[in-house]
Structure 1
């Protein structure tokens, strides 16, 4: 068993507890390493190094010399590690050098073997080529002998001068006369057929070209007929829709109905085409519906032909904004994107924002947010700046949050994004986020003026500012009177907020600054702080003590204890024995 070393006599209880904690830490870490099977010299060195760091942080008086000693030992250890690495590398190089002669010998032996194999393969190839040549010569001789035999047989065989006649018939005068009459009849028949049944070749080509052009005209006519029929059906249905809208349901938007009819126009059947509907309508309604329908059909034609820029302009300038909606946006989003072309969706947003105005046809918040998200995903910040600053859109808090987050991800554009987010937050309005953007841009005094003018700026909003932008100028501005108005936050509230978000140093610096202003300045601040309870100041004093601000902690505790009705409660054992009978 490892014996626990005897500690030297230490006067202070805190030092004893610290040393005991350090030794306990070393023992626990070594046990963990032993259980994991990793307790080698290097791991032990790391454990003792961490323990020495704790000692250096604790012993502030000897921090410099202890740090220098630790650095020297760390350098020495690094030199030893580097020498070990160099030794391993040198060993590898030595092995490689020692194996070079053997490797060279093996390579030469392999080269000799391959040379022999190449020679054998070359000899075999020459032998096979010679045999193949002999076979080809023999085959050629045999074929020539067979051809000579066939020619000889043909020459020896008797044949007729006229095809279809035997040798005896070709020597008979009567047979020859009959054969001549047959030939004359065939000649006359061919001459008659040439005049009645056959035409020149160029005439055939002309007829084929005419036939192909006629077929093409027929196909074009069929396509045009289909388009006209579809347009006719749409117009009949829009007439029916306008008639129903004009008679009964006045609350339904006419343009929304026309859009729905246009989208479903290809699914219509002949039953929907009823005659005489236009007779029941007012001429103004018919004209208005037809013009809107023609506009939508023109947009569909441009979109189908992939003229996305013209289609985007058509949609952005549509009458009554019938195409300035989410459905049109989704249609552009689903369009194919080519590398060499600009995105159809981006063209739609550019046309939409360019034709928009806040007083007439503003882009709604949801579509504007989608447009900004898409533009920033393609790093088109200049477009977003134009849209926001020219008041082309309706603002929303989500839009400001997205631009703010983009600035956090892109430090180069952070200042521009903060300015845009500030403008959006002020228009929403979201006062605390607008003030935060001003503080992050360094406009702390402007932010303080802005918050003092806002009637609905609460203490929670001030704490939000302090937590998200803790700097000395903002802290002092929030804890001091401004333009005759009381401070936004008390000193206690500000310090407690900073402690809770792990920015304690700013709070301690504030207390030290107040303490250095005069002998009773800190006491006046604590006594006049009605927003922070004595328990809160005790918590602040404890944090000061835990962070090596002992004098400041003692000063705060003495001021708190000196107040009327405040008594310090200790955990002395003798006090416990005195009150023991109360709980018996």
Structure 2
């Protein structure tokens, strides 16, 4: 608001003096400064404008009043009345706004009351339903308690009657004579005996007998284990797959078993299955021999009948066991042996398996001359020269009796004579003469 606008609407007559002009300009500057500080525009808010104008009026009240008295002393009461009415009007407007704000809030509360009432009614219905359920449960529990009390009272009555009927003090104490039953020392001794017996029974109950609850727990555990087993079997059926068997796979499993002692039995069994599926019966027999199943291996060998001398030699070389050599060099069910005993022993000594060969010689020497003669006479694979080499091996390793027995059996054969190394007799002389 400019100075011209103030002069245009002024009630007082124009102030021409310099002091009046400066006074009005100071008031105008104050109003503009306060308006900028508050940050309100010309459109409002009206309350802030009222506060600014009231402050400027209060600040310059005395000066304005003195100036008004100087110019028009008769307007003093009128202006004072106008100011009071203006203040009262502003206060009435403020009060009306406060009342409207309060009534607006109250109106919102009243509008929300029906919804809250519905919620409270719904919650009340839910709580009433819960109360009815709890009351019904309480009645059932109370009836069960009353029934238990009644049964307990009946049981107590029966127990009292039973105790009253069995309580016959005139009868003698079991295990005591009538004379001992009236003797205090005997009674104390018998009491101690009963206490010891009671303690022993309690100990036996805790150590020798299993509680019924323990049995029930074990039954539950067994049921759970059976269910797990059934589940595992069903999963196993679903997850089964067919292996592709090959000789290479069998060789890998066999080599792994030879290197790892802990897994050796399982690896040999698996390698045997793979070799059988591939038709490699020779390697399957080697797996059986490695597992110690010598007799089963020999039985399978009789079924296939396609083993050569070299195959048998390779078998005892790969699995140098005295029991295997015995089974291969013995007759079975009236059939000749698979391998010559002499050839087997000579081969073992030739490949530095002297320990196994000596074990075989020890076992043969225990059987006596009859067993040696049976081996020599029943050997259709080995020549007499090989048996003579066998005798030399026995002599070199300390088996002199065994060597002499072999040489004696060889000499006893018709047309056989011992030829010394120095003898120059021609073996084929009888052919040319």
Tell me which interval the TM-score lies in, with the shorter structure as reference length: 0.3 to 0.5
Q: Which has the higher contact order (CA 8 A, sep 6+)?
A: 2
State the TM-score, normalized to the length of structure 1: 0.30
